[in-house]
Structure 1
Amino acid sequence: MAIVATPPAPAQAAVARDGTSSDKAGLSCWAIKQDFPTSTDGVYWLQTPKLIAPQQFYCDMTTDGGGWVLLGRGREGWTFYYPGQRTPGVIRNSPSGTGAFAPAALPGDTVDALLGGTRVDALQDGVRLRRAANNTGTSWQEVRWRFANRDAWSWTFDANPRHGLSSVTVNGVNYGAGNTRDWSFQNGPLRIFTYEWNNHGWKKGFSYGSTMAGASTSATSYLWQNTTEGHPIPFTQVWIRPRITSATYDAIPETGTAATTVPPVVSNATTPLSWGVTGVVGGGVGEENLEVQSLGILGNTIYVGGKFSHVQKGPNPAPADKVNQQYLAAFDLATGEWRSGFLPQLDGQVWDIQALDDKVVIAGEFTNVNGEPNTAGMAALDPATGAVVPGWRTTFTRAGGLPVKVKALDRQGDWIYIGGGFNHVSGGNPLSSPVWAVAAARVRVSDGRPDANWTPHFDANVIELDASSQGDRVYFGGRFSNVNGQPANSFAVISTATPAALVPGLGNWLPSTAAQARDYRQTVREVGDKVWMGGAEHDFQVYTRDNLTRVAGHITRQGGDLQASEEINGIIYGACHCPEFVFNDASSWDNTTGWSNAHQILWIGAWDAQTGKYLPNFAPSIDSRRGDGPWELLKDDNGCLWFGGDMNRGSWDSGSGGYQWLGGFGRLCGTDSTAPTTPGNFRLTGTSGGNQLAWNAANDSSGAPDYEILRDDRVIARTGGTSWTDSDPLGTHKYWVRAIDDAGNRSASSPVLKVQATANLMQNGASWKWVYDGVDLGTAWTGTSFDDSGWASGPGELGYGDGDEATTLPEGTTPRHWTAYFRTTLNVADPAQYEELLIDLIRDDGAVVYINGVEVGRTNLPAGPIAHNTPALVGYSSNADERTPVRFTVPASALVAGNNTIAVEMHQNNQWSVDLSFAMNINATLP
């Protein structure tokens, strides 16, 4: 009797990517609609290689052939923030209706991922706006924006200069070119302006013109107006239709994926500070009349300098919590509490602070500190009391009766480098003779004595400097035109070697304006092999250190100059009075063209310090009293970014229901950029209902992470537990698992877990020839030529004593026979289509398995030759032991094409055993 193996199905069938589940995510709404034409409007799973993991989105599968993905929707109050607005779940679950009036928009990174590498200006259908055309939402206007030149996504439709449009189509009629800020064919239904407007209560949206009828102040009107101004803002949906139908996913190595982390950008949210500084001594407005101009950190104290008049606790202090303390104060670095014992007395503002090992050096416009002599413009203070440190002196003078302004300090080794407005410097103990040093000098860290051999001469004030960490040079920025009689337009690089000469071989930097009096430099920072500089007009640029070759540049508008910078973990932050837009890769403020994209910048921007790429997800929630913004940035050892200026508002505090109060300065602390640990013991626990996968939990500093399951070349699911079942495995697969935290940091994955598709060649109920008569058959009975025609036959399970046998063998009387013999024939057309045989044997007690006369496995029997009376090693006493199959994995090459003889001898442990069991199931793995 022969068993014929059924030819196997393909090892891996194609996935039906209809978007109905995460493992069936489509490349785009368009791809789903093309492959499954009956798809209706609704929520679908989408995934591109750039999206990494499948996510759910709302798809319009009806309009103009369908295939549109919803990016955002809402009425008035759009922020146009690149990080998005509200949550993706709000967008897909409430795509329309009055419940969708509060604007929500996908993060820009998500939109770029949905584009899958397609440029925005290459979208065949442009960007689609669906605007309500009446106040009941029963009539709609269809707009198509086609961009003239835009590589990646940006939400700043209100940017000025404007995002250019090559065409604007309304309800199928092309009205020619335009822009996203304000397009108007006529001032009614054929107008779209996106910028905030005072008559709208400073709310943004996709506004109509003044002649558009039907506007209402009603909360349920699809055409909203603030009062009676007209220009209604309609409920609007924003869609794109990337026509992506194919993509290549990188193959995952069997060792797994490496850990990945998000850019280590500080948080967009401020951490609360109870105290601050307020008021401006003598009043006045403008850049030299700000609460905070400088910050310094020593130990667990932050020192704040500027032109403030008071220290103050909270926005509405009790009388005892508002103290007259001018120009300089100290606060606890962790809690923000005012250190009331630090009480220096100055008569002018502080421009810079340099913390030394056991003292705090300050620089500014003061003529003395605590009435001490020789402290004009600079002094070293006791960090606890503010007393002038004995024996440490530096003092400055300036010709023509002009006030001394020492504006910049930076330590390098044994020297403090100094810049500002002065002509002579004396210092040390005893006090040295005056050294002629015009606008720049260096003094010893040990006692403040100036170096008489290092005396560069600038023809105008230095505003900022940065002493290279490599020790060979110092960068200067300011309003000067010459250094040491040589041309140096607002920026100079001077050797630290005497006699303070310009470093040769450097190129010229590129001013952003032709107005020479308006191209001064206010900030400079060396980071690795790059040099960042910024100032007027409104530019922030990066150059190579070795020869000053321009790498990238950025222009801020409508806003102001770059005025401070700081680097943390490879990210450089630039501060400015610029709460609107930054135009990346632009070089000219006079004529801001040729930019690659425009994004929001909110007082502080973040850039990759080496590539110069702008990081638009950093958009801190802070505000400024007069609009002058932060004039100082400083990092602490905890990775927090401190900022100071005329800052008066921090982030929203949900607990109090209001914005945090800032007294001149604030801090933004680091976000989570550490990957979780790798999940351990990734394993297959079963195949009932699919491939059952499990793993040991990973650890993460932010709490319990989620897990991404990867199959073959992509992520197919995300779960919060430590197990998951691939309910539709569709054949042979490779799996990995990795942890992901809320910030988007991913652990390294597990090594591969291979789960192969199988074809069943034999089931437990297969028919066998058998003999159980106590006769020693020797060894020939296992071969292909043995004549078993006289044997009995029957289906499995075969045996006696348990009551579940399909074929009962004669158990006889005790002592019983030692061995039962079984044979069958398995017909396999082509063994090469299989990799391995998975032989699952039910046995009681011991057994040897042969294929075509060759032993391929034994269980519960000793090594060496097996005789007909060799007892099994163990007698199984529990039903579970007897019913649990033993698996043998055998190369499929053990089979031949055609008939194969499978032979099994089953041995009892003793001749008084009450039962005997035998059955066999054979699966074959597919390549």
Structure 2
Amino acid sequence: MPSSRRTATAPPLVALAALALLFGGAAVAGAPQAAARTAPAPAPDGTGSDRAAPSCWAIKQAHPGSADGVYWLQTPKLVAPQQFYCDMTTDGGGWVLIGRGREGWTFHYPGQRTPGNVRNTPSGTAAFAPAALGGDTVNALLNGTRVDALPDGVRLRRAADASGTAWQEMRWKFKDRGDWSWTFDANPPHPLASVVVDGRTYSGGNTRDWNDNSGSRRVFTYEWKNHGWQKGFSYGAGQSGASTSSTSHLWQDGSEGSPIPFTQVFIRPKITNVSYDAVPDPGTRASTVVPLVSNQTTPLPWGVTGVMGTGTGEEFLEVQALEVLGDTIYVGGRFKYVQQGATGVKKDQPYLAAFDVRSGEWRSSFLPRLDGQVWDIQALGDKIVVAGEFTSVNGEAGTVGMAALDPATGRVVPGWRTTFTRASNLTVKVKALDVQGGWLYAGGAFNHVSGGNPLSSKVWAVMAARVRVSDGRPDETWTPRFDLPVVDVDASEKGDRVYFGGYFEKVGDKPANSFAVITTSAPATLVPGLADWKPSTPTADRDYRQSVLEYGDGVWMGGSQHDFQLYDRDDLTRVTGHIMKKGGDIQASVVKDGIVYGSCHCPEFVYNGAASYENPTGWSNAHQIVWIGAWDARTGEYLPNFAPSIRSRLGDGPWAMTTDTNGCLWFGGDMNRGSWNSATGSYQWLGGFGRLCSGDATAPSAPSGLRLAGTTGGNKLAWSAASDDSGQVGYEVFRNDRVIATTTGTSYTDTTASGAVKYWVRAVDDAGNRSASTAALPVAASASTVTLLSKGATWKWRYDGTDPGASWTSPSFDDSSWSAGPGELGYGDGDEATLLPAGATPRHVTAYFRTTLKVADPAAHKDLLIDLVRDDGAVVYVNGAEVGRVNLPGGAITPGTTALTGYSTNAEERTPVRLTVPASVLVAGANTIAVEMHQYDRWSADLSFAMTVAATAAN
């Protein structure tokens, strides 16, 4: 066994079945930079990972006798080979199954259940629970083919009777669709160029609801009350034979006569030839997945509940503000209580509370008392500043609309005061804060501000102001004047400007349609040279802005009429935009790890590239959005793999978001349910707010020591393990520029190699992050070999701590006094044929071994293939000349020289390392093989030595 002083490596990844999901849809890791090479002939048949084909169609064309079943497929975009179910019979065959099920489809881009469910249970009652491949995997199967360019469209195979003995064949030919999307139920819908039903072609149509005025020739995919709000590929009215039976291929919730049939979804990309980028000899670079936060919420023990006052809409939600300072998250809004769990204890703590950012426990020492709603919170080093529509905090004067609080107790900070007033006895509402340099910027509904210690005189600041971070005193020289309230403020990190969004139409006497960019230099003026932004609707009273966010060279803004748009910072030209329907006003946004998250009352669809709300046009694709969406912060690309499992109490969604230093995204509003908790068998309870924490976006370490461990039965590869923070890692094995296998172990035997080849290996974790690969391992074409020395050959050995002298490797050396025994030799592992005396620690460093190899005609051989089992380092000599060393330093070797590293697993110790030595070192007759084995340290618990020698035939 390995030495007790060595560190154990991480356990291997779960079985290969789990890796099928891991490798699907991940980004190409370390994309090689050299020229492309064409995949070799003969055409692969898909019967093994090393024989993966580019499509089911390619298999059927090259091997017409292929039957329905599971095959290995691979494209350059799929990266590693995966198994899929292929229909090799219908209409010439070559169809790949991408989803199947009865009622309960989610149509989520990340897919449903697992790829194993799809391929291994393609039909029958066990397949009724829907399963679908992720959109990334479907796009990888397309390998760049547009969805609207599929010659045969998307195929729906629907059960036509309850017993599943009759079927309907339908083909959807898409219109204007590039990448894949599962949102067949989108509204507005995905347009179709044509629909084919049992061979009859109809022009036009859409994926949401199509029919030819016949119930059996209708398909609608949206959820419906009479279906218990279940989605599927429903027939129209008038169909018989359906029920809720677990064995019926036609399901209906009642007696509506519009059943959801068991349906299979296929595509048929007719890809027969692909090319893979050449892998450079140094190997591939590491790559990581997009660093999205998880779709699953992390449980929280406490929340906030109840709403102060009566009313509806955004004014009457539990949470409107979130802010993190140190190890505490501060939650503000209109809530009445803090509550422990769904049914636990409630404590009166209206409007503002604090919780431990790691454990989620309520901080009962933070007990401020406010008399009105909190709209925003800003951390300022040793204090937090809260803003809202309160008139008093802890009963202290000078705290109308804003107060600085001790972050531990909630007491008002002495000497820091800012107070607001508003004309005509209207309620002061300070709705947004942001800090830049020494100034705290504020926006809302107010007319005057005073502050500092003592309080300054009132400064005329209409709807916006800035006050000193040090004491809250307002800047009398910087006073932009908006005609209507401000809703959001974002102070540029570049220091030159501040962005404002809201309901206003003017700044001073200048027009500003609900969005303004103001200089930070006094006096406050509009930044010149910026274009007018474009609302999503021409109706002027419906284009207010609720969220503004600068990131890099871009500006994100969103608000009414469901838009979220990206603009160029320099001139405010539009880069791209997105429209959410149904519902969808953007309410908050935040950037984390280069991804902008935007929240909205939007549990349905987002139309990417669209700019108009009422009837989105020009959109590139429609995906699902679930209260929060994710976009690449620089390019504006929507990231559909983010689809969090959360629910909103009233349908208003999150109105506040922030991040913490633990990698979590916090969101708050009227949120009442999180993700499914398999441990409890229930959904997580959310009290107004929740958190989604980062997934793994760190590459594993690279494997090392790729070597040829033997050639019996194929090229036997072995390597040293990689490590990963997750503790789980698998490996991808390259042969000649493409991945031919995935494995959880540290060895692989390639049984189908032909001619000279090269190998690389890289590690992959269960999130899809890929390590840098090993350097290339060239392997020459196999040649006929003859065994010259077996593993069980007899060796003379010496292990007593003495130096045998300089001539011990010479054929003439007298070893008659040495002990003798067959291989394997050593101690500590229990697999030794000859047991060496281990002795007490500290043990001897070096063991010495000699044997004789008789060769009649050395010229008959080209190379010696020496497979050496070593623990830990070794030097090999033939007839007194060194022919190779392993895991030992260069230069002179002495009896006290220790190995460079210690092997940490039995697999590493027992996997042979190959030395290829020219057969010219041999002489006719007796040849002396000598080996010295060196330990890594004197406390090692084991020592292992064995050797086989084979020879290849001379040309």
Q: Output the TM-score relative to the length of structure 2.
A: 0.81
Relative to structure 1, the CA distance from residue 673 to residue 762 in structure 2 (aligned partners, 3 Å threshold; closer, same or farther) is: closer
CA change 1:692–1:457 in 2 (3 A) is same
Q: Which residue of the other structure, out of 269, 277, 293, is the alignment partner of 1:242?
A: 269
Question: How far off its partner does 1:465 sit?
Answer: 0.9
Provide the rounded CA distance (Å) in 2 between the counterparts of 1:113 and 1:861. Answer: 54
SS at match of 2:409: coil
Indicate the SS of the match to 1:64: helix
- The aligned amino acid for 1:722 is T
One-letter code aligned to 2:653: G
Quote the Cα distance in structure 1 between the aligned partners of 2:686 and 2:927. 86
Answering whether residue 195 of structure 2 is matched by residue 168 of structure 1, we say yes
Are residues 1:355 and 2:379 paired? yes
Q: Label 1:573 to 1:886 Cα distance change in 2 as closer, same or farther (>3 A).
A: closer
Q: 2:74 aligns with which of 39, 44, 47?
A: 47
Q: CA deviation at 1:890?
A: 9.0
Q: Distance in 2 between matches of 1:86 and 1:491?
A: 44
CA gap of 1:421–1:731, structure 2 versus 1, over 3 A, is: same
| Deviation (angstroms), 1:177 | 1.1
Rounded Cα–Cα distance in structure 2 between residues aligned with 1:239 and 1:307: 50
Q: Kindly indicate whether the alpha-carbon contact (under 8 Å) linking 2:862 and 2:951 is maintained by their aligned counterparts in 1.
A: no
2:290 maps to 1:263: yes
| 1:445 equivalent in alignment to 2:469 | yes
Quick one: distance in 2 between partners of 1:841 and 1:109? 46
Distance 1:63 1:279, change over 3 A: same
Partner of 1:375: 399
Q: What SS does the corresponding residue of 1:643 show, helix, strand or coil?
A: strand
State how far apart, in whole Å, the 2-side matches of 1:558 and 1:13 are. Answer: 50
Alignment of 1:841-860 (within 5 A): 859-860=879-880
Q: Give 3-state SS (helix, strand or coil) of 1:532's partner.
A: strand
Could you tell me how far 1:585 is from its partner in structure 2?
A: 0.4
Q: Contact between 2:674 and 2:683, CA under 8 Å: does it hold in 1?
A: yes
Tell me, yes or no, if the aligned pair for 1:822 and 1:903 is still in contact at 8 Å: no
Report if the CA contact (8 A) 1:67-1:241 is conserved.
Answer: yes
Q: Give how far 1:74 is off.
A: 0.5
Separation of aligned partners in 1, 2:219 and 2:133: 21
Q: Secondary structure at the match of 1:82?
A: coil
Residues 921 and 269 of structure 1, relative CA distance in 2, 3 Å threshold:
closer
- Aligned-partner SS, 1:288: helix
CA distance in 2, matches of 1:535, 1:682: 55
Counterpart secondary structure, 1:357? coil
Q: Distance in 2 between matches of 1:886 and 1:368?
A: 82
1:212 is aligned, of 235, 239, 253, to 239
Give yes or no for contact 2:709–2:914 (8 Å, CA) kept in 1: no
Distance 1:345 1:243, change over 3 A: same
Task: State which of 704, 716, 731 in structure 1 corresponds to 2:740.
Answer: 716
Match of 1:838 in 2: 863
- The 1:734–1:402 alpha-carbon spacing in structure 2 relative to 1, beyond 3 Å, is same
Query: Taking structure 1 as reference, are residues 414 and 886 closer, same or farther at Cα in structure 2, changes over 3 Å only?
Result: closer
Correspondence 1:295 to 2:322: yes
1:113 matched to 2:113? The reply is no
Counterparts of 1:95-244 in structure 2, within 5 Å, are: 95-244=122-271
2 CA distance for matches of 1:738 and 1:841?
A: 26
In the alignment, what sits opposite 1:492? 516
Provide the residue aligned with 1:621 in structure 2: 645
- Residue 451 of structure 1: how far off its partner (Å): 0.6
Correspondence for 2:586 among 557, 562, 577: 562
2:329 equivalent to 1:309: no
Match of 1:662 among 668, 673, 686: 686
CA deviation after TM superposition for structure 1 residue 838, in Å: 3.0
The question of 1:643 aligning with 2:667 is answered: yes
- 1:903-922 alignment to 2 at 5 Å? 921-922=951-952
The residue aligned with 2:798 is none
Which sections of structure 1, spanning at least 5 residues, go unmatched? 1-11, 766-819, 827-835, 843-856, 864-883, 892-901, 910-918
**Could you say if the C-alpha distance between residues 702 and 841 of structure 1 is closer, same or farther in structure 2, counting changes exceeding 3 Å?**
closer
Q: CA deviation at 1:354?
A: 0.4
Instruction: Give the corresponding residue for 1:20.
Output: 47
Bigger shift: residues 485-494 or 74-83: 485-494
In the aligned structure 2, how far is the partner of 1:242 from the partner of 1:861?
60
Q: 2:939 corresponds to which residue?
A: none
- Spell out, residue by residue over 1:819-839, the C-alpha distance to the aligned partner (whole angstroms, 9 max, x if none): x9988998xxxxxxxxx9536
Give the aligned partner of residue 501 of structure 2. Answer: 477
Shift of 1:349: 0.1
Structure 2 residue runs without a partner (length 5+): 1-38, 790-853, 868-876, 884-912, 929-948
Residue deviations 1:65-112, cap 9 Å, x none?
000000000000000011110111011111001111111000010000
Offset at 1:401? 1.6
Q: 2:459 aligns with which of 435, 441, 447?
A: 435
Residues 227, 392 of structure 1: CA spacing in aligned structure 2 closer, same or farther, 3 A cutoff? Answer: same
Q: Give yes or no for the alignment of 1:466 onto 2:490.
A: yes
Kindly state the Cα deviation for residue 567 of structure 1 after the two structures are TM-superposed: 0.6
Q: Which residue of 2 aligns with 1:81?
A: 108
After superposition, residues 267-286 of structure 1 pair within 5 angstroms as 267-286=294-313
| CA contact 1:443–1:451 (8 Å) conserved in 2 | yes
Query: Aligned match of 1:634 in 634, 658, 674?
Result: 658
Q: CA deviation at 1:213?
A: 2.3
Map 1:316-465; keep pairs closer than 5 Å: 316-317=343-344, 321-465=345-489
CA contact (8 A) 1:355 1:361 kept: yes
The one-letter amino acid of 2:736's match is D
Hey, what's the Cα distance between the residues in 2 that align with 1:85 and 1:121? 23
SS at match of 2:232: coil
Stretch moving more, 122-131 or 492-501: 492-501
* TM-fit CA distance, 1:682: 1.1
Counting aligned pairs with the same residue, the percent is 66
Conservation of the 8 A alpha-carbon contact between 1:760 and 1:924? no
Could you report, residue by residue, the CA deviation over 1:873-909 in whole angstroms, capped at 9, with x for unpaired residues? xxxxxxxxxxx99954499xxxxxxxxxx99666889
Structure 1, residues 518-576: CA drift from partner, whole Å, max 9, x if none? Answer: 11110011111111111111011111212212111100001120010011100110000
Q: CA deviation at 1:309?
A: 1.1
Which residue of structure 2 lines up, in the alignment, with residue 92 of structure 1? 119
Q: Secondary structure at the match of 1:469?
A: coil
Provide the residue aligned with 2:767 in structure 1. Answer: 743
1:688/1:502 CA distance change after superposition, 3 Å: same
CA distance in 1 between partners of 2:862 and 2:236 (Å) = 75
TM-score by length of 1: 0.83
**Corresponding residue for residue 29 of structure 2:** none
Q: Secondary structure at the match of 1:249?
A: strand
User: 2: distance between equivalents of 1:403 and 1:236?
Assistant: 58
**Which residue of the partner structure matches residue 623 of structure 2?**
599
With over 3 angstroms needed to count, the CA separation of the structure-2 counterparts of 1:602 and 1:449, relative to structure 1, is: same
Runs of 4+ in 1 over 2 A off after TM superposition: 12-16, 758-765, 820-826, 836-842, 857-863, 884-891, 902-909, 919-925
Aligned residues: 795
CA distance in 2 between partners of 1:219 and 1:762 (Å): 63
Q: Distance in 1 between matches of 2:456 and 2:376?
A: 23
Please tell me whether residue 542 in structure 1 is matched to residue 566 in structure 2.
yes
Tell me, in whole angstroms, the C-alpha distance in 2 between the residues paired with 1:281 and 1:862: 86
**Cα distance, 1:434–1:724 mapped onto 2, change above 3 Å:** same
Q: Per the alignment, do residues 39 and 413 of structure 1 end up closer, same or farther by CA in structure 2, a change over 3 Å counting?
A: same
Residue-by-residue CA offset, 1:410-437 (whole Å, 9 max, x unaligned): 1111110111111111000111111111
Distance 1:426 1:67, change over 3 A: same
Give the whole-Å Cα distance in 1 for the aligned partners of 2:866 and 2:242. Answer: 79
Render the CA deviation track for 1:681-721: whole Å, top value 9, x for unaligned: 11111111111111111110001301111111111111111
Deviations 1:37-56 (A, max 9, x none): 00000000000000000000
Aligned residue for 2:824? Answer: none
Task: Give the Cα separation in 2 of the matches to 1:821 and 1:303.
Answer: 82
Q: Flag the 1:356–1:886 CA change in 2: closer, same or farther, 3 A.
A: closer
2:859, 2:954 within 8 Å by CA — same for their partners in 1? no
